[in-house]
Structure 1
C-alpha cells in the first residue's frame, strides 16, 4: 500500500473555481475500477527519447494504480530502461493524468490478489508465479504471461467535466 495523500495542491483553474479535492479522483478510481469500462493509456519513453503510448488494463487497489504489460511490448521494454511514465483516463466527471514511476511487481501474493481484482471486473486473469495469464487479453498485449506494474504516484492533474468544475495539480511525496 502506498501513501496516497498529496503533499501539495495547486489550483490550475482560470475561471474562479476552487481547487478540486484529491479525494474526488481517488473515490472515483476506487469505485469504478475494475467494474466500469474505463480506457487507461500509459505513456512511456523510448530509449531514443521519443514517446510511446498504449492502452492498458488498469485497476486502483489499496490507493495504488496497477496495470499490465507483456514482457515483449514496447511499454514493458521502455519501463525496464526508464520507469518514468504517465497514465491518463477519463473518469466519471473528471479527466485525470497520473505521473510517476512504474515498477514490475513480482511478489506472488500481490500478483495473486490483483488477479482476483481483474477477475472481479470480467478479465479471467490467473496468477502464474510472478505474472498473469488468461485465455485472452488485448491484441497488442502479446502472448502470456503478462507482467504486473505498480505506479508510484508523483503528480496528478485533474480537470472536472461536471460540477463542481475546476482544474487542479496534486504533488505527492517522492518516497
Structure 2
C-alpha cells in the first residue's frame, strides 16, 4: 500500500500511455531516498517572488520526506517567509516533482530519529538540540547547525523515464 493515496489522478501523457500508478512513484521514493546520491532539487521563492533552486539531500523517514538547510541560507530565509516549495527528484525510471510546503521540525525526538536515518544513509549527522550537526555537509549548506524541514505535499507530477512510459499528476489531501 502506497502512502499518501491520491484523491485525484490526471493522465498528462500525450502519446496514449496509461496514467502511472502512484504506487510506482512512491515505491521509487522508498527505494531511492535512503540513497544520498539520489538527485534532489528544492525550489523556493523569496518575499519578492524571486525563484531559487538548489540541490539538497532529501531523505524519506517513515511516511515523511525531510531535508536540511543552514539557518542563513537563501532557502531557509525563503521558507521562513513563504513555506511553499517544490522538491524535484531524479528517481530510478521516473522524474518526480512534489509540490507543497516545508515546515521546520523542532521536536527533539523527530530530530534524533531523522539524524539517525541520515547517519545510516552515509551522512554522519547527529541531533544537537532542535537541529543537526555533522563533520561535513554540502559546500552550500553553510556552517552547522542545520535546520531540519519536513515536506508536506499536495500535488505530485511523475514522468516515467523507463517502460512503461507515461506522465501523470496526482493530487492529495494534506
The bucket for the TM-score relative to the shorter chain is: over 0.9
- Contact kept, 8 Å, 2:36 with 2:122, in 1: the verdict is no
Task: State the partner residue of 1:17.
Answer: 17
Report deviation, 1:36. 5.4
Report deviation, 1:48. 1.0
Q: Which runs of 5+ in 2 are unaligned?
A: none
Task: State the partner residue of 1:99.
Answer: 99
Task: State the partner residue of 2:112.
Answer: 112
Give the CA RMSD over aligned residues.
Answer: 1.0
- Contact kept, 8 Å, 2:36 with 2:57, in 1: the verdict is no
Task: State the partner residue of 1:40.
Answer: 40
| Post-superposition CA distance 1:124-160 (Å, at most 9, x none) | 0000111000000001000000001001111000000
Report deviation, 1:61. 1.7
Aligned partners of 1:145 and 1:27: how far apart in 2?
31
1:137 is paired with a residue whose SS is coil
Q: Which runs of 5+ in 1 are unaligned?
A: none
Aligned positions of 1:125-144 closer than 5 A: 125-144=125-144
Task: State the partner residue of 1:82.
Answer: 82
Report deviation, 1:60. 1.3
State how many pairs are aligned. 172
Q: TM-score, normalised by structure 1?
A: 0.96
- Contact kept, 8 Å, 2:42 with 2:85, in 1: the verdict is yes
Report deviation, 1:35. 2.5
1:14 is paired with a residue whose SS is coil
Aligned partners of 2:10 and 2:131: how far apart in 1?
38
| Post-superposition CA distance 1:3-54 (Å, at most 9, x none) | 6111110000011111001111111111122225111100000111110001
Aligned partners of 1:24 and 1:119: how far apart in 2?
27
Aligned partners of 2:128 and 2:86: how far apart in 1?
27
Q: TM-score, normalised by structure 2?
A: 0.96
Moved over 3 A (4+): none
- Contact kept, 8 Å, 2:59 with 2:65, in 1: the verdict is yes
Report deviation, 1:89. 1.1
